[in-house]
Amino acid sequence: MSREELVAMTRREVDNLAADRIDLADDVYKIPTSAYYDPDRWNLEVDRIFKRLPLALGFSCELREPGDYRSLEVCGVPVLMARDIDGEVRAFVNMCSHRGAIVVDEGGGNSRGFRCPYHAWSYDLQGNLVSIFDSGNFGDVDKSCYGLTALPTAERAGLVWVTLNPSSDVDIDLFLAGYDKMLDHLGFADSHVVGRQNLDGPNWKVAYDGYRDLYHIPILHRNSFGPDSAYQPDYYAWGSHVRMVSPTRFARAADLPEDQWETEDMTPGIWTIFPNISIAGGRGSAAYDGQGASPFMISQMFPGKTPEESVTIQNFLLPEEPNPDDDERYADIMKMYYDVVLDEDYYTGLRVQRALKTGAKDHSLFGRNEGGGQMFHKWVQALIDTEDADLNALLERGIEA
């Protein structure tokens, strides 16, 4: 069924290319500028979006073997992901049950278990407390009650999804709305992480607005991607998740009969995962040079310590076994993306942030050609307005696009 969806979208884009048109939203959409800097609003976004929805925090391919793990901090929550001896990926709050020490430093590796660096309490790959240092003198403790705090975790489409609220009952499949079947076509489960780098940016929504927007490409990126870059997008939605693509990316498909369309002919564009991920790159991207497989850049945007800050992790996944002879090419691609985002996108975004905070304008606009941004902000508002008990119902029925 997912391939049939790809074919239908490709057919639509080929038709739009031939007719020189794009699909437009019904109207221009307004949002209050205070939504980008108001601290109370920001706290609600962190609590009602980032701390209760499944977040794509890791990749199956970096946790291939039992004992593989990765540790990172997300919105102030230290998270530890690991593949256990049965092959299941689990996630925990990275916090010792004894006195709250961080058990594993940020980063990744392989281990048979985890030992707290403070008092050497030890945990297995399933998060169970297995030993207490000097237990005879410590006193009686029921170890079964003091394992690492588990977080709801799932693997879909080669991504590891973790919910930061240990007691969350959000249905991952309702949240994904079938989008994981589409992401399967990008091949992340069999990919290889070839690089990772961090950038500091403006308010997370100022940053993310740019990732759901092609309108700025030939203007802001005229000296990098070029003034002739595709900028007129169509948008396809699965619940809160959106694929953004220009019909001009389907020129090759337009020259072929449908039965000759390859997956790469049907999957160009930007694939975004709500609330904070953008997937770009691969074949047909600005970074593809025709010399072989080009990495996807999977950007994860997280709120920073204040409403005016964010942190972006750029992850680079190659859809085939890396060639050591291509390390320099991968590094050049990573540098290109780092420089473009930092010097063009986030340079502009930080200035946007300062200007919005003046209050000179009480609202910002998203045009009919900016449907991805419209849908994003409608979902943000809907989630802020929805109580925990009604969250799965919202995910099931969706919102008005």
- Measured from the Cβ of residue 196, the count of other Cβ atoms closer than 10 Å reads 15
CA distance 211 to 278: 6
Sign of CA dihedral 252, 179, 303, 311: negative
Residue-wise pLDDT tens digits, 24-34: 999 999 999 99
pLDDT at 226: 79
Euclidean distance between the first and the last CA atom of the chain, given in angstroms as a whole number: 23
Reduce the secondary structure of the chain to three states and give it as a string.
CHHHHHHHHHHHHHHHHHHCCCCCCCCCEEEEHHHHCCHHHHHHHHHHHHCCCCEEEEEHHHCCCCCEEEEEEECCEEEEEEECCCCCEEEEECCCCCCCCCCCCCEEEECCCEECCCCCCEECCCCCEEECCCHHHHCCCCHHHCCCCEECEEEECCEEEECCCCCCCCCHHHHHCCHHHHHHHHCHHHCEEEEEEEEEECCHHHHHHHHCCCCCHHHHCCCCCCCCCCCCCEEEEECCEEEEECHHHHHHHHCCCHHHCCHHHHCCCEEEECCCEEEEECCCCCCCCCCCCCCEEEEEEEECCCCCCEEEEEEEEECCCCCHHHHHHHHHHHHHHHHHHHHHHHHHHHHHHHHHCCCCCCEEEECCCCHHHHHHHHHHHHHHCCCHHHHHHHHHHCCCC
Structure-token pair, residue 182: 């589409």
pLDDT at 401: 62
pLDDT at 288: 45
pLDDT at 287: 45
* DSSP-assigned beta bridge partners for residue 366: 29
pLDDT at 230: 79
Relative to beta strand 55-59, strand 159-162 is antiparallel
Ranges of residues in the chain with a pLDDT under 50 are 284-289
